């Protein structure tokens, strides 16, 4: 079974909305405003590109990333990687042509089936709503979190608010950086 990894920039209070400056959120761009850049904190981002063999996105994140990431040198490894977008409304005609093979999945059952295929880790970027569904369905195996020392208040959150049994996580890698960022790699305990 393939490992499904959710990766996120996250505030201390759990917000993941608009970390890179996406419009429509009052704290948009919070990952680089008033936070000193410390290159070693982002080592995990390069490692994710090297280790992942596929990318999974929700429709909203796909629509935000697909016009930009294909031409960005820092995301070069993602160009050739197979991409999967979970959406009930997106059509093949709406997919960008310059970002490699992209397949639309219509349900979490299709994501579960993808996990059963041969291959390495599948990385999930952004996609707050998708993360809620994946977590509630027990499909996430690992979290890669860069936790920012910020309280953002309102905003889309990474974790579902569904009333469910306790989900235990095991911290398998961590580091604290000079700017206050924390790397937390957590495996989901089954």
Question: Running along the chain, 190 residues long, what does each successive block of 10 average in pLDDT?
Answer: 97 96 92 93 95 97 94 91 97 95 98 97 96 97 98 96 95 98 98
**Looking at residue 34, what is its pLDDT?**
83
Could you count the other beta carbons within 10 Å of the beta carbon of residue 131? 24
pTM score: 0.96
**Looking at residue 133, what is its pLDDT?**
97
């Amino acid at each position: 079974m393939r490992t499904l990894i959710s990766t996120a920039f996250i505030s201390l209070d759990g917000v993941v909305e608009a970390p890179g400056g996406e419009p429509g959120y009052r704290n948009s761009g919070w990952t680089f405003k008033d936070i000193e850049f410390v290159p070693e904190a982002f080592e995990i981002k390069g490692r994710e590109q090297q280790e992942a063999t596929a990318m999974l996105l929700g429709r909203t994140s796909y629509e935000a990333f697909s016009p930009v990431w294909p031409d960005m040198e820092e995301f070069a490894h993602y160009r050739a990687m197979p991409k999967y977008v979970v959406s009930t409304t997106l059509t093949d005609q709406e997919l960008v042509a310059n970002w490699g093979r992209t397949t639309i999945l219509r349900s979490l059952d299709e994501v579960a089936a993808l996990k059963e295929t041969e291959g390495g880790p599948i990385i999930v970027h952004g996609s707050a709503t998708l993360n809620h569904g994946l977590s509630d369905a027990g499909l996430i195996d690992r979290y890669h979190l860069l936790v920012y020392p910020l309280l953002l208040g309102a905003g889309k959150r990474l974790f579902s608010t569904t009333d469910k049994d306790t989900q235990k996580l095991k911290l398998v890698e961590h580091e604290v950086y000079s700017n206050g960022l924390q790397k937390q790699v957590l495996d989901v305990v089954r």
